[in-house]
Chain A
Amino acid sequence: MSLVGARVLRKEDPNLITGNGQYVDDLQPAGCTSMVFVRSTEAHAKIRSIDTAEALALPGVLAVWTSANIAQLANCPGGLPGLDQPLLAKDVVRFVGEGVAVVVATDRYIAADAAELIVVDYEPLPAVASLSAAMAPGAVVLHEVLGGNTVHFQDFENPLDEVFAAAPRTASLHIVNNRCAPTPIEPNVCLADWGRSGLTLWAAFQAPHHLRNTIAQYFGIPQDSTRVVAPDVGGGFGAKINFVPEFFLTALLSKEIGKPVKYTQTRSECLVAMLHGRAQEHDASVAFDNDGRILALKLTVTQDQGAYPNGTGMGLPVLTTAMAAGCYRIPAVAISWRNVVTNTTPVAAYRGAGRPEASYTIERLIDLIADETGVDPVEVRRRNFIPVDAFPYATHSPLAMYDSGNFAGALDELLKHVNYEELKKEQEKRRQDPAAKLLGIGFASWLEIAGFGPPGSLEAFGHLASWESAQVRIQPDGSAIIFTGASPHGQGTVTTYAQIAADELGIDFDRISVKHGDTAVVPQGIGTMGSRAVAVGGEGVKTASGRVYENAKRIAAHLLEASAEDIVIEDEKFFVKGTPARSVPWSEVAWKSFQPLELPGGMEPGALDSTVFQQVPNFSFPSGAYCCVVEIDRETGAVNIVNMYLVDDCGTVINPLLVEGQVHGGVAQGIAQALYEHMLYDPSGVPRTSTLMDYLVPAASDLPGYITGRINTPNPSNTLGAKGVGESGSVGAPPAVVNAVVDALSHLGVKHIDMPVTPIKVWNILEGAK
């Protein structure tokens, strides 16, 4: 029986749900000390002086550092040269939450007490806390080298003025894609131990080899004695692929004081110091005919980079503009983008990273076209879809060469679950009844770019390469260990990889373990991000397993005195096809694979051990169709999601249970962005949502049940056919939800509402319409 496609329970769960997971904060090596930050309370200020005397005098304090102690050191890796963040602020702070000083003490309480005794004398400067403020004439400049606050501006190649002028109809929207804080359950945590045998850094991270490469380079130390370990990691959502000062500071301080140094971010710190996501504004225009056929699309993305732009953040508008056209055949597309710095937390990848922003805008525009033309939104989608026979389909962007898709198929499947005509009647009925709640139906036919990626793609973000490593090693007893460079942190990869390997090797699922997250154990690796773990890493597991299996067959054939081509396997027994009575078990093949005297001619011991650096020729393009049905309380403005229908096309499904889990989680974060979460700053740059009382992460009780369906258009870029599904929900949910809300209010002339759609926003609209 094939395990690929089976609803197998997660191998990870018994440990995690009984509290036996091991996170960095669980590690307490002998002599472990604790580091605590003093973080800026000012959004923009000169540092006149820092008085550390009282803190240093506190018993138990081992070190207090400010930028003066590390003056010779380079800034934090990952930034743009000249605009990068110092490990500790030098002379100027540029956002609330920026590290100003650190204390190391024998325990965390003493360190926190000492941090409180440090007096920082700030000379406040004017701050710019929004894109409009940062771009206003005469705005204060964050980085003098820039001369302004625009880091980079990419103009239209052709602004399509003539197409728009000649079009029967045009429409435009200004769209704010709200800034979100990733908020994984485990914040940033790291523990450094820099002793005589080298540096070991345990870190809650998504890409340990990437960090190993970078930290060794940063300190100029050899990689053979630099080890990075990401043990159990409690969620990352893209925020844990960024290099942050704490990694380098704990390492340095460990070297300095000769003891392990641990840093555990507090929840409040996490909201301002862990990099944020989204934070874009879009100016979007479409030209279309009276039947709702799109003639041209024009999009300018303005990306808030926060105070210190980084490589990932700079990549966000590139991904957004690449995916601007979504699943539609649009004859002319013009894109432009601008990166701007503000006195806010820096911005980088957050689940979806650039693609949720793209799908949100194009799907809002589709509904706008429907509204303008009177053509049903479902029909507008159908009229503009790229048809199934048009693949491979070259878009306006060289990055986005769509290789497959079935957008109409997903929508058809969705409409089997949604009783659309009934819902429309119900909507009309309720509009006539002032006591009834308003009903809204919102669709999103979304498409994203995932499975990062083809050679060169991750290199552009500073990674070593874009392959993923997989080593499959058969133990002498015939059990198997898989070492992967993908560093899962909640995805269930240990389970899916074992499923893939079990099918390829013919070894029992329970006798396959998957090791990850330790650069001393896993040969090389890239990491888990961009929905690549299965599409790239899983493909590697398949390739390496296949190679091992071929060699195992040769050994079995030798033992059975048969030809390898005739060997088959069942229940972990190799035999010649048709004669199962005479067989040799996997355990014997494995055992003998280490014994030169037992091997077929030309084979060396160790043949059942294969390492693959799996490459893929293209990105993958997961897609789907979602429908959200909302009710709106006319008196309070409260929006309630009644139903959420989700059809995904992630290609081959390795484990439906895990795909559903990923979709549910992604949709939860998408609903969160649409209705709840918004990292807000006041004009002076002080965060207004700096605790989880104000930054509203929804809980299970706030989320609807989901009705899920699926179609399968296999990914042509790997043999598994899997595309990746980690980010899909966060790409598809926001437009579905907001389209539903706008639909519910469309009879009042509402064309758009920015996220998050809060009760007061809706109430103000309802009041305004009275």
Chain B
Amino acid sequence: MIPAQFDYVEATSVADAIRLLAEHGDEAKLLAGGHSLIPLMKLRLVTPATLIDVTHIKELSYIKEDGNNIVIGALTRHRDVELSELVKKHLPLVAHVAGEVGDPQVRNRGTIGGSLVHGDPAADLPAAALATGATMVVVGQNGERRIAAQDFFIDFLETAVQPGEILTAIEFPKHTNAGWAYEKFVRRAMDYAIVGVALQLGSQPGVALVNMSNKPHLAESASQAIAKGAAISDVLAVINNNTNPPEDLNATVEYRQHLARVLTQRAFATASK
């Protein structure tokens, strides 16, 4: 609960952040909303020598329409995503999921970029990014890289963002007027999901699972089945393919897989309403 000593610097722009990352090296961490990083620091599970505060980079906090995409700046707070009319219209799944993160305090601090880069398999927004087929825009000293969501999440708390890089934006293809649902199973309203299912229907469907693997999990076989117009029972039959759910006080592997099926079925019922 008492973090180790660290230095603090403020980045004023993306270029400045990249310069500071290069200057401070491996021991530095970007600080966005701090709602994943600071708890780890307080438990001394993470002890960065320097925090580079990027929250003052105004240019990274926005939501805009760009042709067939909605682009969200990495530092946009969950609460702004939740309430955005643009997101609600074209990406209702993403707006809804943003509103399911933690509690209002958390949503007013946490950023979409921070949630994605943290790469927690139990987090909500990574599943929304996977189900909607988002693309991450990452900038480093060698310029910009664009990474599809399904290639972005590598392992437990590990993403494709390399040391020295910063996630600047997330491009979501529009899913206007398409069915969607998010089913989050929790014991307390403010908790991380025991299991979650993000379902996007429409022309580019996808289904992603929360807390069912060592990383945010795109249910590929199920997504393909949905794309082919398979019956729900066929989707359910493959929903747990390639999952690797954790066991903890709340759930066994068997129970999680059962929940994944139940929640997927419910997601279909909700999405088609």
- By a beta-carbon cutoff of 8 Å, the part of chain A in contact with chain B is 36, 108-109, 112-113, 116, 266-269, 635-636, 638, 676, 680, 688-689, 693-694, 696, 698-699, 701-702, 758-760, 763
In the bound complex, do residue B2 and residue A109 qualify as a contact, i.e. CB atoms below 8 Å apart? yes
Closest to A187 in B: B1
Q: Which residues of A are found within 8 Å of B2, using beta-carbon distances?
A: 36, 108-109, 112, 266
In the bound complex, do residue A699 and residue B189 qualify as a contact, i.e. CB atoms below 8 Å apart? yes
Pairs A-B, 10 closest by C-beta atoms: A266-B1, A112-B2, A701-B189, A635-B262, A702-B188, A760-B255, A702-B189, A696-B188, A698-B188, A760-B251
Most chain B CB within 10 A, of A267, A268, A694, A759, is at A759
Closest to A695 in B: B249
Closest to B188 in A: A702
12 residue pairs of the A-B complex, CB under 8 angstroms, read: A36-B2, A108-B2, A109-B3, A113-B4, A113-B5, A116-B4, A268-B1, A268-B43, A635-B262, A636-B185, A636-B259, A696-B187
In the bound complex, do residue A636 and residue B188 qualify as a contact, i.e. CB atoms below 8 Å apart? no
In the bound complex, do residue A758 and residue B5 qualify as a contact, i.e. CB atoms below 8 Å apart? no
**Nearest CB on B from A19, distance (A):** 16
Q: Which residues of A are found within 8 Å of B251, using beta-carbon distances?
A: 760
Asked whether B258 is an interface residue with its Cβ less than 8 Å from the other chain, the reply is yes
In the bound complex, do residue A758 and residue B187 qualify as a contact, i.e. CB atoms below 8 Å apart? yes
Q: With A and B bound together, what is the CA distance between A638 and B262 in angstroms?
A: 13
* Interface positions of B from 210 to 269, Cβ below 8 Å from A: 249-252, 255, 258-259, 262
**Nearest CB on A from B2, distance (A):** 4
Q: With A and B bound together, what is the CA distance between A698 and B255 in angstroms?
A: 23
**Nearest CB on B from A559, distance (A):** 60
Q: With A and B bound together, what is the CA distance between A227 and B118 in angstroms?
A: 50
Q: With A and B bound together, what is the CA distance between A758 and B3 in angstroms?
A: 34
Q: With A and B bound together, what is the CA distance between A694 and B187 in angstroms?
A: 11
Q: With A and B bound together, what is the CA distance between A12 and B82 in angstroms?
A: 37
- By a beta-carbon cutoff of 8 Å, the part of chain B in contact with chain A is 1-5, 43-44, 103, 185, 187-192, 194, 249-252, 255, 258-259, 262
Q: With A and B bound together, what is the CA distance between A112 and B1 in angstroms?
A: 9
Closest to B195 in A: A636
In the bound complex, do residue B249 and residue A688 qualify as a contact, i.e. CB atoms below 8 Å apart? yes
B252 partner, pick from A109, A267, A635, A760, beta carbons under 8 A: A760
**Nearest CB on B from A663, distance (A):** 22
Closest to A701 in B: B189
In the bound complex, do residue A760 and residue B189 qualify as a contact, i.e. CB atoms below 8 Å apart? no
Closest to B185 in A: A636
Closest to A764 in B: B255
In the bound complex, do residue B249 and residue A689 qualify as a contact, i.e. CB atoms below 8 Å apart? yes
Prevailing SS type, chain B contact patch: loop
If A113-B4, A760-B255 touch, whether A699 touches B190 (CB-CB below 8 Å) is yes
If A109-B5, A699-B189, A758-B187 touch, whether A116 touches B259 (CB-CB below 8 Å) is no
Number of A-B contacts (CB under 8 A): 56
Q: With A and B bound together, what is the CA distance between A116 and B45 in angstroms?
A: 13
Q: Which residues of B are found within 8 Å of A269, using beta-carbon distances?
A: 1
Q: With A and B bound together, what is the CA distance between A112 and B262 in angstroms?
A: 46
Closest to B255 in A: A760
B262 partner, pick from A109, A636, A701, beta carbons under 8 A: A636
Q: With A and B bound together, what is the CA distance between A676 and B250 in angstroms?
A: 11
Closest to B42 in A: A266
Q: Which residues of B are found within 8 Å of A758, using beta-carbon distances?
A: 187, 250
Q: With A and B bound together, what is the CA distance between A109 and B4 in angstroms?
A: 7
If A699-B189, A701-B190 touch, whether A760 touches B1 (CB-CB below 8 Å) is no
Q: Which residues of A are found within 8 Å of B3, using beta-carbon distances?
A: 109
Q: Which residues of B are found within 8 Å of A266, using beta-carbon distances?
A: 1-2
Q: With A and B bound together, what is the CA distance between A266 and B251 in angstroms?
A: 28
**Nearest CB on B from A757, distance (A):** 11
Closest to B3 in A: A109
Closest to A637 in B: B255
Q: With A and B bound together, what is the CA distance between A11 and B191 in angstroms?
A: 35
Closest to B194 in A: A759
In the bound complex, do residue A763 and residue B5 qualify as a contact, i.e. CB atoms below 8 Å apart? no
**Nearest CB on B from A266, distance (A):** 3
Q: With A and B bound together, what is the CA distance between A279 and B190 in angstroms?
A: 27
Q: Which residues of B are found within 8 Å of A636, using beta-carbon distances?
A: 185, 259, 262
**Nearest CB on A from B204, distance (A):** 29
In the bound complex, do residue B262 and residue A759 qualify as a contact, i.e. CB atoms below 8 Å apart? no
Q: With A and B bound together, what is the CA distance between A701 and B187 in angstroms?
A: 11
Q: Which residues of B are found within 8 Å of A696, using beta-carbon distances?
A: 187-188, 191
Q: Which residues of A are found within 8 Å of B259, using beta-carbon distances?
A: 636
In the bound complex, do residue A267 and residue B1 qualify as a contact, i.e. CB atoms below 8 Å apart? yes
If A113-B5, A116-B44 touch, whether A760 touches B250 (CB-CB below 8 Å) is yes
Q: Which residues of A are found within 8 Å of B190, using beta-carbon distances?
A: 699, 701
Q: Which residues of B are found within 8 Å of A113, using beta-carbon distances?
A: 4-5
Q: With A and B bound together, what is the CA distance between A388 and B190 in angstroms?
A: 46
**Nearest CB on B from A278, distance (A):** 18
**Nearest CB on B from A664, distance (A):** 18
**Nearest CB on B from A39, distance (A):** 12
In the bound complex, do residue B255 and residue A763 qualify as a contact, i.e. CB atoms below 8 Å apart? yes
Q: With A and B bound together, what is the CA distance between A546 and B114 in angstroms?
A: 64
**Nearest CB on A from B248, distance (A):** 8
Q: Which residues of A are found within 8 Å of B5, using beta-carbon distances?
A: 109, 113
In the bound complex, do residue A694 and residue B249 qualify as a contact, i.e. CB atoms below 8 Å apart? yes
If A758-B250, A760-B250 touch, whether A676 touches B1 (CB-CB below 8 Å) is no
If A635-B262, A680-B249, A763-B258 touch, whether A699 touches B188 (CB-CB below 8 Å) is yes
In the bound complex, do residue A676 and residue B187 qualify as a contact, i.e. CB atoms below 8 Å apart? yes
Q: Which residues of B are found within 8 Å of A268, using beta-carbon distances?
A: 1, 43
Q: Which residues of A are found within 8 Å of B192, using beta-carbon distances?
A: 693
Closest to B43 in A: A268
Closest to B47 in A: A116
Q: With A and B bound together, what is the CA distance between A701 and B189 in angstroms?
A: 6
In the bound complex, do residue A759 and residue B187 qualify as a contact, i.e. CB atoms below 8 Å apart? yes
**Nearest CB on A from B168, distance (A):** 30
Q: With A and B bound together, what is the CA distance between A557 and B192 in angstroms?
A: 70
Q: Which residues of A are found within 8 Å of B44, using beta-carbon distances?
A: 116
Q: With A and B bound together, what is the CA distance between A505 and B43 in angstroms?
A: 54
Q: With A and B bound together, what is the CA distance between A636 and B185 in angstroms?
A: 9
Q: Which residues of A are found within 8 Å of B191, using beta-carbon distances?
A: 693, 696
Q: Which residues of B are found within 8 Å of A702, using beta-carbon distances?
A: 188-189
Q: With A and B bound together, what is the CA distance between A112 and B5 in angstroms?
A: 10
**Nearest CB on B from A187, distance (A):** 10
**Nearest CB on A from B104, distance (A):** 10
Closest to A633 in B: B262
Q: With A and B bound together, what is the CA distance between A760 and B191 in angstroms?
A: 16
Q: With A and B bound together, what is the CA distance between A688 and B43 in angstroms?
A: 16
Q: Which residues of B are found within 8 Å of A694, using beta-carbon distances?
A: 249
Closest to B259 in A: A636
Q: Which residues of A are found within 8 Å of B43, using beta-carbon distances?
A: 268
Q: With A and B bound together, what is the CA distance between A267 and B2 in angstroms?
A: 11
Q: With A and B bound together, what is the CA distance between A113 and B4 in angstroms?
A: 7
Closest to A639 in B: B187
Q: With A and B bound together, what is the CA distance between A14 and B43 in angstroms?
A: 34
Q: Which residues of B are found within 8 Å of A689, using beta-carbon distances?
A: 249
**Nearest CB on B from A169, distance (A):** 37
Q: With A and B bound together, what is the CA distance between A680 and B250 in angstroms?
A: 12
Q: With A and B bound together, what is the CA distance between A698 and B191 in angstroms?
A: 10
Q: With A and B bound together, what is the CA distance between A763 and B4 in angstroms?
A: 43
Q: Which residues of B are found within 8 Å of A108, using beta-carbon distances?
A: 2
Q: With A and B bound together, what is the CA distance between A701 and B258 in angstroms?
A: 26
Q: With A and B bound together, what is the CA distance between A108 and B258 in angstroms?
A: 47
Closest to A108 in B: B2
Q: Which residues of B are found within 8 Å of A109, using beta-carbon distances?
A: 2-3, 5
Q: Which residues of B are found within 8 Å of A699, using beta-carbon distances?
A: 103, 188-190
Q: Which residues of A are found within 8 Å of B4, using beta-carbon distances?
A: 112-113, 116
**Nearest CB on A from B209, distance (A):** 15
**Nearest CB on B from A754, distance (A):** 15
Closest to B1 in A: A266
Q: With A and B bound together, what is the CA distance between A676 and B174 in angstroms?
A: 40
Q: Which residues of A are found within 8 Å of B252, using beta-carbon distances?
A: 760
Q: Which residues of A are found within 8 Å of B262, using beta-carbon distances?
A: 635-636
**Nearest CB on B from A114, distance (A):** 11
Q: With A and B bound together, what is the CA distance between A114 and B194 in angstroms?
A: 37
